[in-house]
């Protein structure tokens, strides 16, 4: 026998149902924009970009130094990753992607410091904003870590940490805001898909300046020891190649055709630059080296980065070739012509590559050359001028602010280790450990 509900029970049931419907409405509306596929891809991309620094970049750089400095390079990369993560949480993300109000053209605001108000249900496009925070954090990690290659084997660990922290806040975060956070370069129409300007021009130009101020390693340029472990360098380079798919294809922020094309052109550019570099070595010196071919790969990856979401396979082929040629000769120019010991060629590979790719984007993004097309009413020439403004402005900012940071760091903790410590090697002097028990 059915039990009859009282009027009170009916009222409560109807009210409860209505309340639940109201509460669920915003979530249902939000779910329309949320994409599980995009979220899964960006989760994967985030892991891939972190993989580029830890362990990719660490091993790539570690193999290129003397045996008694290998641990110091690994330590630099690892410690910078930790420091950058904390600074990004505290205020880096807010400065790069926050609403700057009246100063929006130049810097973000403070409303997202410590990621306040960014919960798992808050979206950024079709993915949770907290995932976007983490994805961008991996970019903030690898960018100052790239500069490590300029000062290996002769810098104080305290200087590394202080310089990297100040540089992230004062150089990287503002430039990131200008290009990706709604700043003035974004309004100008600068095209930088994954960091040619934001990552490579900032790191490359700052690295060259720091190497100049710091001075060369003992014996530079004629009496330097060769890389102690090219095999380690190749392993790190292979990790960089794989991780770069997250760097470039992940910057589409969606699991779609744009990400697919970015992945393809990234691979083609890297392969083309590698072969080009190896061929140039063979023609000039009679042999193609392992270090050379993997350095060419990194040049190809850095150069395609700003263009990766805008160009097609034909553009990638040309960009990779141009990267292999220009970056190859810039390595020699920096060390032999202007006599700056940018030890692991950060400027020649990343700075020159990032600038080159940014400028070439103006041409190969055009639909007539197989690209995704320029903005309506924009010609190759006008876009090139816009790209050039972006490169020059960021280069000047990076150099000027880096110079100030270097002077501050030098005054507080000093920059360079003593001659005797450099001879002994930074592994024992700075960290009390040996990479090899020989």
Q: What are phi and psi of 5, to 5 degrees?
A: -80, 145
pLDDT (average), residues 62-69: 97
Q: Is the pLDDT confidence value at 1 over 70? A: no
Q: Are 159 and 99 in contact (CB under 8 A)?
A: no
Q: Collect all residues with Cβ–Cβ distance below 8 Å to 294 and sequence separation of at least 6.
A: 60, 233, 234, 237, 238, 274
State residue 2's pLDDT score. 38
* pLDDT at 6 (0 to 100): 52
Residues 358-384: what's their mean pLDDT?
97
Q: What is the pTM of this model?
A: 0.91
Q: pLDDT > 90: what percent of the chain?
A: 89
The pLDDT tens digits of the residues spanning 90-143 come to 999 999 999 988 899 999 998 999 999 999 999 999 999 999 999 999 999 999
- In the predicted structure, residue 17 carries a pLDDT above the cut 60: no
Task: Using the predicted structure, report yes or no on whether residue 4 has a pLDDT greater than 70.
Answer: no
pLDDT of 28 higher than 50: no
Q: What is the DSSP string of 297-341?
A: HHHHHHHHGGGTTT--HHHHHHHHHHHHHHHHHHHHIIIIIS---
Is the Cβ–Cβ distance between 348 and 146 less than 8 Å? no
Cβ proximity of 20 and 217 under 8 Å? no
Percentage of the chain lying above the pLDDT 70 cut: 92
Q: Which two tokens stand for residue 387?
A: 């790209």
SS3 content of the chain, % helix, strand, coil (to 5): 75, 0, 25
| pLDDT, mean of residues 351-377 | 97
For 276-297, what is each residue's pLDDT tens digit?
A: 999 999 999 999 999 999 999 9
Residue range 58-64: mean pLDDT, rounded: 98
Q: Rounded mean pLDDT of 325-344?
A: 97
Between 18 and 340, residue with greater pLDDT? 340
β-sheet bridge partners, residue 123 = 128
Whether residue 12 has pLDDT greater than 70 = no
Whole-number average pLDDT of the chain: 93
Q: Give Dmax (Cα) for the chain.
A: 100
Q: How many other CB atoms are there within 10 angstroms of residue 113's CB atom?
A: 17
Domains and CATH numbers, the chain: 36-431 (1.10.3430.10)
pLDDT given at position 283: 97
The structure tokens 């990267």 sit at 323
Count how many Cα atoms sit within 13 Å of the Cα of residue 260 in the half-sphere of its side chain: 3
Q: Give the residue from 322, 330, 361 showing the smallest Cα distance to 347.
A: 330
């Amino acid at each position: 026998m059915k039990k009859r509900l009282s009027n009170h029970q009916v009222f409560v049931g109807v009210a409860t149902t209505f309340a639940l419907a109201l509460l669920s409405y915003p979530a249902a509306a939000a779910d329309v924009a949320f994409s599980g596929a995009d979220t899964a891809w960006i989760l994967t991309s985030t892991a891939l970009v972190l993989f580029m620094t830890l362990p990719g970049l660490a091993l790539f750089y570690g193999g290129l130094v003397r045996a008694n400095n290998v641990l110091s390079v690994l330590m630099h990369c690892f410690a910078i990753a930790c420091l950058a993560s904390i600074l990004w949480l505290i205020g880096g993300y807010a400065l790069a992607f926050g609403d700057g109000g009246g100063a929006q053209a130049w810097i973000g605001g403070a409303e997202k410091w410590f990621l306040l108000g960014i919960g798992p249900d808050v979206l950024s496009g079709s993915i949770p904003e907290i995932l976007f925070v983490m994805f961008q954090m991996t970019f903030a990690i690898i960018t100052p870590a790239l500069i490590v290659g300029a000062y290996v084997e002769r810098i104080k660990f305290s200087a590394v940490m202080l310089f990297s922290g100040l540089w992230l806040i004062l150089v990287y975060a503002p430039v990131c805001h200008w290009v990706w956070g709604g700043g003035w370069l974004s309004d100008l129409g600068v095209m930088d898909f994954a960091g040619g300007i934001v990552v490579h021009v900032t790191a490359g130009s700052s690295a060259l300046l720091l190497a100049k101020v710091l001075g060369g390693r003992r014996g530079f340029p004629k009496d330097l020891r060769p890389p102690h472990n090219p095999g380690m360098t190749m392993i790190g380079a292979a990790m960089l190649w794989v991780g770069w798919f997250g760097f470039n294809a992940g910057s589409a922020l969606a699991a779609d055709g744009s990400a697919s094309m970015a992945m393809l052109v990234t691979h083609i550019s890297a392969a083309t630059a590698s072969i080009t570099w190896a061929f140039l070595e063979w023609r000039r010196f009679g042999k193609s080296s392992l270090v050379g071919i993997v350095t060419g790969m990194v040049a190809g990856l850095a150069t395609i980065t700003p263009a990766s979401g805008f160009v097609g396979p034909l553009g990638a082929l040309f960009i990779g070739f141009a990267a292999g040629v220009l970056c190859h000769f810039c390595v020699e120019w920096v060390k032999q012509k202007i006599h700056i010991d940018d030890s692991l060629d950060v400027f020649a590979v990343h700075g020159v590559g990032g600038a080159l790719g940014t400028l070439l984007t103006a041409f190969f993004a055009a639909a007539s050359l197989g690209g995704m097309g320029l903005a309506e009413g924009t010609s190759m020439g006008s876009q090139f001028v816009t790209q050039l403004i972006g490169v020059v402005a960021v280069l000047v900012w990076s150099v000027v602010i880096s110079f100030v940071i270097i002077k501050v760091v030098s005054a507080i903790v000093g920059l360079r280790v003593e001659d005797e410590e450099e001879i002994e090697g930074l592994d024992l002097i700075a960290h009390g450990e040996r990479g090899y028990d020989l």
